[in-house]
């Protein structure tokens, strides 16, 4: 059972990394083709896609938690009703937002204030298909159909990257959006066997109301984390020109890539955690799913973060030099991603224990802290570098609080909690000290890109000695399979 879980985890994580790598390539090439101003407009569209997922009011979150729980309890028929009601509400909200947005654009209400109205109309279609895409993916994962999930991810990323680059080059942003529409439609149809009836949507309003009541706190907690990850862009969008948003956001393709592993582990382990709780109803029974994945992620992340820190400037400096101002904030956010990585599994544990209200409460503090400090950073002239530093502060507060409370909820002793935090801190401290020494004693070489690449590779190899060493020591002394 455990070997099968690790196999699924490996395949799913590999596909997600491949997909995000393709998206990163697509993002850098789009940035070059569109330029900072239009790329900033596309970033605004991405932000809307991120924020509008909350119109589902937590039904998807309730489904992902409750469906495997009922399977573990031996009541799959209840899980099936939950799935159908979730599908129906997703369709209803997706259609409502798309029609409302189209009416506002076509009525002329915003025709003088929104750039590229035709592109925004295309975006509305992208939004609806994006809703269906994530609905299908969440249901495949909840049912542990990981092979089908991999097909969905790999197919969409491949089609949208190749086609998106070609049509963006030929027709600009509108051409890219048309490619996204075609990519979503093709891959969803392929996975569902070209029949939308496979989703079996229903509008059971009584059950939908129960799902909203159960899932809204989970969604709110997730929303606060998503706001935390995007509040920097929202502040920049509000207070600075669109060009600055385009420059700042180019690094998000790198940080998204970094955050895939913890997301994959949380997604794959969550159904197993819920089934375990359904069987035992004891919080202590899932302690291994908090401590071991969190430590494994902490030790595995640091070599990757260090390499990304040194390598970030290469594609920006030599491929998209208009975005040079993104290098320093990007490096700050790469290192700060460590806190988000180690906080993912503790957050999932809190949700599994139905402590979503507590998670929502503790997530509010770092969002407020990031928002307020970012505002003053811009007001004092610190610009996008200051905003990145404020985001790092918010990530740290979130990670510390969510991990501490998750440990408390599974009844870990104070001694074990202290040891866990020390073990988490060790790889980060080693990485920061190594980066500081390498940056201080080994100068950069920007004379030409081959020299820069060679010097950067040398720095990365030096960094892998201490960070790879502590990872090896950890792996020799710990094994998730044998805990």
Instruction: Flag whether pLDDT at 136 surpasses 90.
Output: no
The tokens 């409502």 sit on which residue? 96
Instruction: Flag whether pLDDT at 482 surpasses 60.
Output: no
Query: Residue 334: inside a domain, yes or no?
Result: yes
Residues in the chain, how many?
483
Res. 450 pLDDT band, cuts 50 70 90: confident
Residues 6+ apart with CB under 8 A from 324: 316, 317
Query: Residue 415: inside a domain, yes or no?
Result: yes
Query: Residue 394: inside a domain, yes or no?
Result: yes
The Cα 452–Cα 446 span in angstroms is 5
The Cα 69–Cα 67 span in angstroms is 5
Query: Residue 381: inside a domain, yes or no?
Result: yes
Mean of the pLDDT values across residues 137-163?
Answer: 79
Q: Provide the greatest CA pair distance for the chain.
A: 67
The Cα 399–Cα 150 span in angstroms is 29
The Cα 452–Cα 315 span in angstroms is 11
What is the per-residue pLDDT for 179? 93
Q: Which has the higher per-residue pLDDT, 65 or 304?
A: 304
The count of other CB atoms within 10 Å of the CB of residue 197 is 8
Instruction: Flag whether pLDDT at 464 surpasses 70.
Output: yes
Work out the end-to-end distance of the chain between its first and last CA atoms, rounded to an integer number of angstroms. 14
Query: Residue 449: inside a domain, yes or no?
Result: yes
Whole-prediction pTM: 0.72
Q: Which stretch of 254-268, 283-297, 356-370 has the lowest confidence by average pLDDT?
A: 254-268
Its sign, for the CA torsion 445, 451, 452, 456, is: negative
Instruction: Flag whether pLDDT at 409 surpasses 80.
Output: yes
Res. 481 pLDDT band, cuts 50 70 90: very low
Query: Residue 483: inside a domain, yes or no?
Result: no
CA 402 vs. chain centroid, Å, equals: 17
The pLDDT > 90 percentage for the chain reads 16
Cα distances (Å, whole numbers) of residue 284 to 102, 210, 265, 358: 51, 28, 20, 19
Residues 356, 62: contact at Cβ < 8 Å?
A: no
pLDDT single digits (tens) 190-207: 877 644 455 677 777 878
Query: Residue 157: inside a domain, yes or no?
Result: yes
Mean of the pLDDT values across residues 316-343?
Answer: 88
Range of the domain at 219: 2-477
Instruction: Flag whether pLDDT at 431 surpasses 90.
Output: yes
Residues 76, 143: contact at Cβ < 8 Å?
A: no
What is the per-residue pLDDT for 181? 93
Query: Residue 482: inside a domain, yes or no?
Result: no
Q: Which has the higher per-residue pLDDT, 253 or 58?
A: 58
Domain count, the chain: 1
The Cα 413–Cα 408 span in angstroms is 8
The count of other CB atoms within 10 Å of the CB of residue 129 is 20
Residues 6+ apart with CB under 8 A from 72: 274, 275, 276, 277, 278, 279
Cα distances (Å, whole numbers) of residue 219 to 49, 63, 182, 351, 367: 15, 11, 29, 10, 15
């Amino acid at each position: 059972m455990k070997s099968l879980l690790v196999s699924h985890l490996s395949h799913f994580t590999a596909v997600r990394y491949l997909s995000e790598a393709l998206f990163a390539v697509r993002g850098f090439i789009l940035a070059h083709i569109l330029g900072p101003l239009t790329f900033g407009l596309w970033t605004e569209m991405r932000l809307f896609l991120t924020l509008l997922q909350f119109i589902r009011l937590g039904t998807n979150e309730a489904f992902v938690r409750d469906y495997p729980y009922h399977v573990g309890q031996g009541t799959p028929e209840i899980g099936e009703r939950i799935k159908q009601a979730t599908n129906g509400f997703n369709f209803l909200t997706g259609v409502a937002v798309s029609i409302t947005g189209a009416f506002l654009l076509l009525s002329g209400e915003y025709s003088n204030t929104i750039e590229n109205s035709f592109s925004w109309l295309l975006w509305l279609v992208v939004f609806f298909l994006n809703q269906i895409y994530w609905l299908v993916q969440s249901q495949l994962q909840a049912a542990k159909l990981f092979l089908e999930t991999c097909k969905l991810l790999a197919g969409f990323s491949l089609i949208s990257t190749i086609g998106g680059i070609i049509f963006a080059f030929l027709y600009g942003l509108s051409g890219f959006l048309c490619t996204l529409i075609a990519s979503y439609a093709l891959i969803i149809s392929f996975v569902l066997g070209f029949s939308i009836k496979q989703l079996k949507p229903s509008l059971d309003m009584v059950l939908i109301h129960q799902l909203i009541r159960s899932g809204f706190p989970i969604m709110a907690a997730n929303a606060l984390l998503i706001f935390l990850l995007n509040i920097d862009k929202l502040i920049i969008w509000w207070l600075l020109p669109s060009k600055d948003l385009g420059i700042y956001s180019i690094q998000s393709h790198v940080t998204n890539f970094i955050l895939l592993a913890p997301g994959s582990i949380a997604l794959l382990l969550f159904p197993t955690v819920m089934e375990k709780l359904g069987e035992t109803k004891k919080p202590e029974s899932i302690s291994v799913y908090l401590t071991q994945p969190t430590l494994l992620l902490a030790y595995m992340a640091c070599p990757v973060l260090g390499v990304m820190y040194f390598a970030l400037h290469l594609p920006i400096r030599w491929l998209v030099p208009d975005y040079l101002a993104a290098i320093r904030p990007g490096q700050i956010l790469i290192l700060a991603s460590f806190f988000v990585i180690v906080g993912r599994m503790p957050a999932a544990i809190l949700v599994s224990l139905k402590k979503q209200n507590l998670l929502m409460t503790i997530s509010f503090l770092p969002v407020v802290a990031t928002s307020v400090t970012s505002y003053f950073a811009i007001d004092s002239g610190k610009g996008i570098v200051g905003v990145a530093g404020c985001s790092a502060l918010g990530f740290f507060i979130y990670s510390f609080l969510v991990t501490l409370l998750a440990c408390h909820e599974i009844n870990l002793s104070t001694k074990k909690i202290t040891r866990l935090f020390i073990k988490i801190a060790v790889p980060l401290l080693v990485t920061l000290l190594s980066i500081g020494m390498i940056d201080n004693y080994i100068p950069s070489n920007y004379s030409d890109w081959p020299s820069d690449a060679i010097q950067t590779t040398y720095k990365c190899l030096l960094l892998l000695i201490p960070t790879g060493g502590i990872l090896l020591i950890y792996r020799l002394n710990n094994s998730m399979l044998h805990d």
